[in-house]
Structure 1
Amino acid sequence: MKLARAIHFDESDQRVYASPARTGEWCIAGGFEFSDWTEGDLTGKARQAFANGFLGLETFGRVTFVAVTVVEPAELAQLTETLAGHFVDWYGAPSQDLARPVAAEELAQMRDLCEDHAPNTLLTVARELTSAGVREMFRALDPREAGLDQFALHGSLDEDH
């Protein structure tokens, strides 16, 4: 099974999101947050979260890039519980038991998005508000296409090098 983790190449997410996700936390698209938004809600940092942000499942902050990686069943079970609790605490779901299937479905959608991509593939999301609601479009970037070598430190643990 695959899911995605938040990844940062620089500090820009710290500036563009009111609540940025932490590097390495598990993420989902999180478009449900915007289901009842109107054009009037799309201002400032909220607009950026709407337009390009994945939802972190620890901080419930937003991140621009996520990287596909393997998730273990026990981690997925814990993420389901965490997200169900978020639905209760923030969105008024009547109970953890009733929120759990919705949380599992949100995670399943993200797993489906990640499943056909190789580990370390980067994903981005772009949203727009349409007359039918929120439209999400996803883009996959191969790590080579993303120019990760610009950000990676290359070296050797060998003292002779």
Structure 2
Amino acid sequence: MKLLRTIRFDESDTRVFPAAAAPGEWAVPGTFVFADAEPDRLDRQEKQAFANGFLGLGSFGWSTLVTVATIEREEYDAVVADLAHHLQQAYGAPDFAAAEVAAREEIGYAAALSEHPVNTLLSLSRFIEGDAIREQFRVVQPPREKPHAKIWEIVPDA
């Protein structure tokens, strides 16, 4: 099985989001966090999380990038249970069974996004379109190594 995992190349997430996910946390898009939010009323860091953040499932902080990683079934089930508890405690799910259904749906969605090769990097753009929140996911290509400039040439003696 595969799932999304947070990754951090620099410290920018710690400055742009209200809370940054730690590197290596399992992650979901986390759009449910903004289901009842009014984007115009979000502060600068919350707007950044809305626009570009994946939700880490350890800290419930945000990450700009995720990578596709393998996950064992037991750990997958534990992540579902952890998210279900969070949905019950932080979002008022009526009971654990209802929270677990929602958690399985959210994590299943993240798993569907993980159908790329392991170590593929993904980014997210989230925006309002009409009355709906829309998401766009993009595969991030690592920068190619630039060829070195030729500064001299060896020519044989004539």
With the length of structure 2 as denominator, give the TM-score of the two structures.
0.88
Gaps of 5+ in 2: 146-158
Tell me the matched-pair count. Answer: 145
Encode CA deviations 1:45-80: one digit per residue, 9 max, x unaligned. 000000000000010000000000111100110001
- Given the alignment of the two structures, is residue 20 of structure 1 paired with residue 20 of structure 2, yes or no? yes
Helix, strand or coil at the partner of 2:114: helix
In the alignment, the residues of structure 2 paired with residue 8 and residue 125 of structure 1 have an alpha-carbon distance, to the nearest angstrom, of 15
Q: CA RMSD in A?
A: 1.3
Instruction: State the match for 1:139 in structure 2.
Output: 138
> Against the structure 1 CA distance between its residues 148 and 45, is the aligned structure 2 distance closer, same or farther, given a 3 Å change threshold?
farther
Q: Aligned AA for 1:128? A: F
Instruction: State the match for 1:118 in structure 2.
Output: 117
- Structure showing greater radius of gyration is 2
In the alignment, the residues of structure 1 paired with residue 124 and residue 44 of structure 2 have an alpha-carbon distance, to the nearest angstrom, of 18
Matches within 5 A, 1:40-55: 40-55=40-55
Matches within 5 A, 1:80-91: 80-91=80-91
Q: Identity over aligned residues, as a percent? A: 42
In the alignment, the residues of structure 2 paired with residue 14 and residue 104 of structure 1 have an alpha-carbon distance, to the nearest angstrom, of 28
- Given the alignment of the two structures, is residue 67 of structure 1 paired with residue 67 of structure 2, yes or no? yes
With the length of structure 1 as denominator, give the TM-score of the two structures.
0.86
Q: Aligned AA for 1:95? A: D
In the alignment, the residues of structure 2 paired with residue 31 and residue 138 of structure 1 have an alpha-carbon distance, to the nearest angstrom, of 13
Encode CA deviations 1:76-104: one digit per residue, 9 max, x unaligned. 10001000001011000011122101100
In the alignment, the residues of structure 1 paired with residue 123 and residue 72 of structure 2 have an alpha-carbon distance, to the nearest angstrom, of 23
Matches within 5 A, 1:23-42: 23-42=23-42
Instruction: State the match for 1:154 in structure 2.
Output: none
Gaps of 5+ in 1: 150-161
Q: Tell me how far 1:20 sits from its aligned partner.
A: 0.3
Q: Tell me how far 1:39 sits from its aligned partner.
A: 3.2
